[in-house]
Amino acid sequence: MAAEEGEVRLIGAWPSPFVLRPRVALNLKWVEYEFLQEKFGEKSELLLRSNPVYKKIPVLLHHDKPVCESMIIVEYVDGAWANSGHAILPADTYERALHRFWAFYIDDKWFPSMFGIAKAETEEAKAESAEQAWAGLKLLEEAFEKLSKGKAFFGGDTIGYVDIALGSYLGWAKVIERMTGLKLFDEEKTPLLAVWAGRFCAHEAVKEVMPETEKLME
């Protein structure tokens, strides 16, 4: 969907998994946008003015009105362009609540355990974080089976809310796998998610904006 010049702008940085979320959502809705990249270690005046509370990316500017926080932006995009592309959240109220629950779990519980692997200072701490991450993925494997109803994504036939929440971390998961030799999305431990991960990264809305592992490692 073509947008007027300056109508949709996204303040972010390409390595950020949180910035990847609105980029995928906008692509799913076929919305053209201007990507305003922040420099690492700096905060632009536009960012500080647009998000004075948290002062962090991403921020979506729609007709110069700021929307902050990655998953809130995803919900906003889903509603603002409801008639374009596929729905990101389910129409059923209970199903929407389930998808929001698992997206919150991913950020609140699973991501810290995954990140803990990378910042662990001892082998014992690394092993403990890895066990927590695998346990979390086992729960997400079960959630995938229920939410997908036998289809390709958490959202069914196409990428949905939970897909975006978890899929945004896949680039950094690959970096951690490369750095530590551990395999997070393991074909034996979580076969459904292992296949899902490849399918997510290959999707038209994702593949052009998913950061390359080598660039993230640099």
CA distances from 203 to 2, 15, 157, 181, 197 (A): 21, 19, 12, 26, 10
> What pLDDT shows up at residue 170?
98
> What pLDDT shows up at residue 98?
98
> What pLDDT shows up at residue 5?
53
Residue identified by tokens 């036998």 is 150
The enclosing H or E element of 61 equals strand 59-62
Number of domains present in the structure of the chain: 2
Does some domain include residue 2?
A: no
Taking the C-alpha atoms of residue 70 and residue 171, their distance in angstroms, rounded to an integer, is 16
**Residue 59 maps to which CATH number?**
3.40.30.10
> What pLDDT shows up at residue 148?
98
Taking the C-alpha atoms of residue 113 and residue 109, their distance in angstroms, rounded to an integer, is 7
User: Is the link from the previous residue into 17 a cis peptide, with omega within 30 of 0?
Assistant: no
Q: Choose the final residue of a domain: 20, 54, 80.
A: 80
Does some domain include residue 113?
A: yes
**Contact by Cβ (8 Å): 217, 174:** no
**Contact by Cβ (8 Å): 217, 40:** no
Task: Print burial letters for 75-106: b (CB count within 10 Å at least 16), e (below 16).
Answer: bbbbeebeeebebbbbeeeeeeebbbebbebb
Instruction: List the chain residues with pLDDT less than 50.
Output: 2
Q: Which domain holds residue 16?
A: 8-80
> What pLDDT shows up at residue 215?
94
For residue 128 the two structure tokens come to 């403990």
Assess whether 72 and 51 both reside in one domain.
yes
Taking the C-alpha atoms of residue 71 and residue 88, their distance in angstroms, rounded to an integer, is 11
Q: Choose the final residue of a domain: 80, 103, 122.
A: 80
pLDDT tens track for 64-110? 999 999 999 999 999 999 999 999 999 999 999 999 999 999 999 99
> What pLDDT shows up at residue 3?
53
